[in-house]
Structure 1
Amino acid sequence: MTATVALLGLGEVGSVLAEDLAGVKLTAWDVALADGASAASRTAKRFSLVSGVDAHDAVREADLVISAVTAANDLVAARSVADGLPAGCWFLDLNSAAPGQKQAAAEVVEAAGGRYVESAVMSPIHPKRLAAPMLLGGPHAAEFVEFARPLGFTGLEVYADVVGRAAATKLCRSVVIKGVEALLAESLLAAREWGVEGRVLASLSNLLPADDWQQLAAYMISRSLEHGVRRAEELREAAVTVAETGVEPVMAEAIARRQDWAAAHRPADLGELEKQLLPLLDAVRTRMSEEDPKGDPE
């Protein structure tokens, strides 16, 4: 029997799922489908996805619902489909939301008769796509692996039998990874103004060996510029996660600000610059001079 999979969210992750999930019947819902010119609408058209009139309608025949929305909408998405979930339907939550929000979403899904599985995607969705490493959590995680691997999910790891630990792992890691992005952007944009970026990068290699700091910096800064809005939202969830442990989230909150700032200063020709560090820095500094002379992240 062909499985029916409902995608909630047609952003970067949802688009990969739409392209790579083979041998299944796909339905989809995204709030942006109301705009026929949106990226979500283009994705739905490109892959001939069946979209319901609303989220409830999109999942009513699903064997598996995959939630790939923005972090702040994790619980909203679960609530939007709860009344329409078929009994026993799998609900895979891929969102970078705080543990408390994941636990609340799990309660909603389980109360509706679904089987909630938490997932923390531990790498960018590209280039591994469905093979990206995913930590699974919750009482149904082990059973879900048997269902999902034939669909192409080969990077699954049963991580915890409770909901929340996978999210905590992802978000504590994000403070470091997204923090390095923010640090590189702030450091090198200032260094470029002084003409000392080469020496700064060389000194990093002495302390933190990397194959090519210039290439790594270009990659990490371009990721912030392209995905800063989503990264900032994730870091706000990380700040909640950190605060709930009694630690003041000074760094997580600051990183969220810098990621928002990066998104607001994205060069129009980013695609052509993302592998060229110095032209990339110059393009961002040009945006700074045009829109924000002091480069203030506020």
Structure 2
Amino acid sequence: MDIVFIGFGEAAYHLCAGLRTTGDLQIGAFDANVSPALQQRADQQHVTLFDSLENACRDARFVVCLTSASSALGIARKVLPLLVAGQTYVDMNSAAPTVKQAIDQLPRPAGVGFCDSAVMGTVPGNNHRVPMLLAGSGAAAFAEAFTPRGMQLTVLEAEAGAASAIKMLKSVVMKGLPQLLLEAFQAGEKFGVLDTLVASLGDSLNGKTVEQLANTFTARTLIHAKRRSAEMDDAVTTLEAAGVDATMTRATQGQLDKLAATDWASLLGPDGSDMDFRTAIAHLTAHV
């Protein structure tokens, strides 16, 4: 087998559907819960379903786990002892980097690689071309085998856990930012100023890149934390007056209060407001 999936759910099915278009490929799968619908999907993509982990892993060049974050470590404990030199275990679950690091630290036979894979988009619609970040000892081998088949794989020169760290930290922003917008937009609707609020935000952001925004906000947030915390007090009052849950804004105020306990203006120096975000973050991590 060229590749075997542990777990044959939606993501694995769509990856197989894409890979099937790239030429001859031996694909297998093992799933603990084989239903008639799952069997039909496997048949559609000419995927061999195995009746045990042992049989599934025996001759697979790459064994890919696509089950869940909660089961990832437990499955790795079962699979890794079954592998032999030349095989690579790939964990594609959306899990914390600590989980991927724990998998990498499990005992495994010499010559068995491990690849931490972070799927950075939706698989349905993209199929095998969904962007992925790879890290760990088995990353290069996986990329070498499947990049020629159209998979969008970026190998990080880093240990296992790095790929998943990027995915999780991106989620902090991409999942957190909409919550802030929802909080502000609800109040904007209540006050009858939603469209003007959106336009004003657009003027402030003004097409800036993430790096430009980081350079604008990072050092200034540290230096002016006390004043901004006071402003958040009024922001909370505004939200609550509109009957909006101010959880995110209260959390922002709490973080600003913590930052205000340090004299950042002195630490960052007279030109601190113009400090690039990387230097400012280095100062922050050194003092927190």
Output the TM-score relative to the length of structure 1.
0.58
Whether the aligned pair in 1 keeps the contact of 2:97 and 2:162 (CA below 8 Å) is yes
Q: 2:19 aligns with which of 6, 18, 21?
A: 21
Equivalence for 2:65? 67
Q: 1:166 aligns with which of 163, 167, 170?
A: 163
| Secondary structure of the corresponding residue to residue 156 of structure 2 | strand
Whether the aligned pair in 2 keeps the contact of 1:91 and 1:115 (CA below 8 Å) is yes
Q: In the TM superposition, what whole-angstrom CA distance separates every residue of 1:194-217 from its partner, at most 9, and x where no partner exists? A: 77654554444333457xxxxxxx
Q: In the TM superposition, what whole-angstrom CA distance separates every residue of 1:25-70 from its partner, at most 9, and x where no partner exists? A: 111123332x445xx4553243242211133322222111112222
**Are residues 174 and 50 of structure 1, via their aligned partners in 2, closer, same or farther at CA, if it must alter by over 3 Å?**
same
Whether the aligned pair in 2 keeps the contact of 1:145 and 1:156 (CA below 8 Å) is yes
- The root-mean-square deviation of aligned C-alpha atoms, in Å, is 3.2
Q: 1:44 aligns with which of 42, 45, 54?
A: 42
Give ranges in structure 1 of 5+ residues lacking alignment. 211-249, 255-298
Whether the aligned pair in 1 keeps the contact of 2:6 and 2:31 (CA below 8 Å) is yes
The letter of the residue matching 1:106 is D
Given the alignment of the two structures, is residue 176 of structure 1 paired with residue 149 of structure 2, yes or no? no
Equivalence for 2:118? 120
Q: 1:102 aligns with which of 100, 103, 107?
A: 100
User: How far apart in 2 are the matches of 1:77 and 1:188?
Assistant: 43
Equivalence for 2:127? 129
- Give the C-alpha shift of residue 137 in structure 1: 1.2
Equivalence for 2:147? 149
Higher mean alpha-carbon deviation, 155-164 vs 181-190, is at 181-190
User: How far apart in 2 are the matches of 1:10 and 1:206?
Assistant: 47
Q: Flag the structure with larger Rg.
A: 2
The letter of the residue matching 1:135 is L
Percent of pairs with identical residues: 34
User: How far apart in 2 are the matches of 1:186 and 1:167?
Assistant: 29
- Give the C-alpha shift of residue 188 in structure 1: 5.2
- Give the C-alpha shift of residue 162 in structure 1: 1.5
Equivalence for 2:80? 82
User: How far apart in 2 are the matches of 1:54 and 1:12?
Assistant: 20
User: How far apart in 2 are the matches of 1:88 and 1:20?
Assistant: 25
User: How far apart in 1 are the matches of 2:198 and 2:115?
Assistant: 42
User: How far apart in 1 are the matches of 2:52 and 2:16?
Assistant: 18
Equivalence for 2:55? 57
The letter of the residue matching 2:5 is L
Equivalence for 1:274? none
Give ranges in structure 2 of 5+ residues lacking alignment. 208-246, 252-288
**Are residues 196 and 112 of structure 1, via their aligned partners in 2, closer, same or farther at CA, if it must alter by over 3 Å?**
farther
User: How far apart in 1 are the matches of 2:66 and 2:12?
Assistant: 6
Whether the aligned pair in 1 keeps the contact of 2:18 and 2:128 (CA below 8 Å) is yes
The letter of the residue matching 1:64 is F
User: How far apart in 1 are the matches of 2:190 and 2:115?
Assistant: 48
Whether the aligned pair in 2 keeps the contact of 1:14 and 1:68 (CA below 8 Å) is yes
User: How far apart in 2 are the matches of 1:175 and 1:79?
Assistant: 29
**Are residues 4 and 139 of structure 1, via their aligned partners in 2, closer, same or farther at CA, if it must alter by over 3 Å?**
closer
User: How far apart in 2 are the matches of 1:189 and 1:42?
Assistant: 46
Higher mean alpha-carbon deviation, 133-142 vs 183-192, is at 183-192
**Are residues 64 and 200 of structure 1, via their aligned partners in 2, closer, same or farther at CA, if it must alter by over 3 Å?**
same
| Secondary structure of the corresponding residue to residue 21 of structure 1 | helix
- Pairing 1:191-210 to 2, within 5 Å after superposition: 198-208=195-205
Whether the aligned pair in 1 keeps the contact of 2:81 and 2:109 (CA below 8 Å) is no
Output the TM-score relative to the length of structure 2.
0.60
Whether the aligned pair in 2 keeps the contact of 1:44 and 1:50 (CA below 8 Å) is yes
| Secondary structure of the corresponding residue to residue 53 of structure 1 | coil
